[in-house]
Amino acid sequence: MKFYIISRSDKLSNELMATARNYLEDFGMEWNEESPDVVLSIGGDGTLLHAFHKYSEKLADVAFVGIHTGHLGFYADWKPIEIEKLVLSIAKKEYEVIEYPLLEVSIHYQNLEEPAVYLALNESTVKSPDVTLVMDVFLNEHHFERFRGDGLCMSTPSGSTAYNKALGGAIIHPSLQAMQLTEMASINNRVFRTVGSPLVLPGHHRCALRPVKAPDFMVTIDHLQLLHKDVKSIEYRVAYEKVRFARFRAFPFWQRVHDSFIDSELSD
């Protein structure tokens, strides 16, 4: 079995990386950055996002596992003190692979035939660099609303606990094939009106954003931020590709939500 490790590069993370590499190589596993079977992310959820984008074109062959060296994350769920237990489980292949949906983002330009296509693990946001964002929102090719405000965010189910939640969006279990559109400070008065609520769209639906005025937009894909010029439309759908995680034990999602946002020390 081939493996690779990505570290947040702080002292503790680098020490754990060296320890895990030594253990795994002692078990006969091969260090292989080009085509690993398992990728260990040591740091936080941001480190795993970096690992995901590094291998976004090899998702069918790579399974991710996260070790957190800071705050407990939704992707990095192993503790540093558990490194030996984790390494032994990897070496013995005592895990199952589970898959979660991703978001496909296609950005079409006015003077180019081919769109720029990205995959997002958490979310994609759209903002205007200088003025209020004005976008026509289409659902399955039907006009839904004209949005005016600071921006829009489309998230995956696994990303619903991130920026989406901060915007007032719903938390969605990551096993569901869906995507969620949330507003950033929409303008609602007697003249302008939006639905004003997050929209949870099923896997077979499509959403397109089409500019009304300015054609240039700041678009984020997870932690990546890019300025796109002369945009004709931005289209979202649940991707055909999926992200794969190596699971060695039960992953109680709602318990993780409770521990992260309510109180890990409270008992029922």
Closest to 78 measured CA to CA, from 87, 193, 134, 118: 87
> What is the CB-side half-sphere exposure of residue 90 using CA atoms within 13 A?
33
Check whether 265 has a pLDDT greater than 90: no
The secondary structure element, H or E, covering residue 221 is strand 217-221
pLDDT at 267: 41
Residue of 254 and 265 predicted with greater confidence: 254
Closest to 38 measured CA to CA, from 69, 16, 61: 61
Give the 3-state secondary structure of residue 24.
helix
- Alpha-helical regions (H) of the chain: 11-26, 45-54, 83-91, 163-166, 253-258
Check whether 266 has a pLDDT greater than 80: no
For the chain, percent of residues with pLDDT exceeding 90: 84
Binding annotation: 45-46, 50, 122-123, 148, 150, 185
Check whether 131 has a pLDDT greater than 70: yes
In the chain, domain spans: 2-95+248-263, 102-239
Per-residue pLDDT, averaged over 74-98, amounts to: 91
pTM of the model: 0.94
C-alpha–C-alpha distance, residues 170 and 266, integer Å: 23
pLDDT in tens, 45-82: 999 999 999 999 999 999 999 999 977 678 988 999 99
Binding annotation for NAD(+): 45-46, 50, 122-123, 148, 150, 185
pLDDT in tens, 180-190: 999 999 999 88
Per-residue pLDDT, averaged over 231-257, amounts to: 94
pLDDT at 263: 77
Residue found by looking up tokens 């915007």 in the block: 167
Q: What average pLDDT is seen over the chain? A: 94
Residue 18, C-beta contacts closer than 8 angstroms, at least 6 positions apart: none
Q: Which CATH superfamily is domain 2-95+248-263 in?
A: Probable inorganic polyphosphate/atp-NAD kinase; domain 1 (3.40.50.10330)
Query: Hey, which residues does 103 pair with through a beta bridge?
Result: 120, 238
pLDDT at 149: 95
45 included as an active-site residue? yes
pLDDT at 28: 95
Residue of 35 and 76 predicted with greater confidence: 35
CATH code given to domain 102-239: 2.60.200.30
Looking at 133-142, 174-183, 231-240, 253-262, which range is the least confident one? 253-262
Marked catalytic residue, from 26, 37, 45, 259? 45
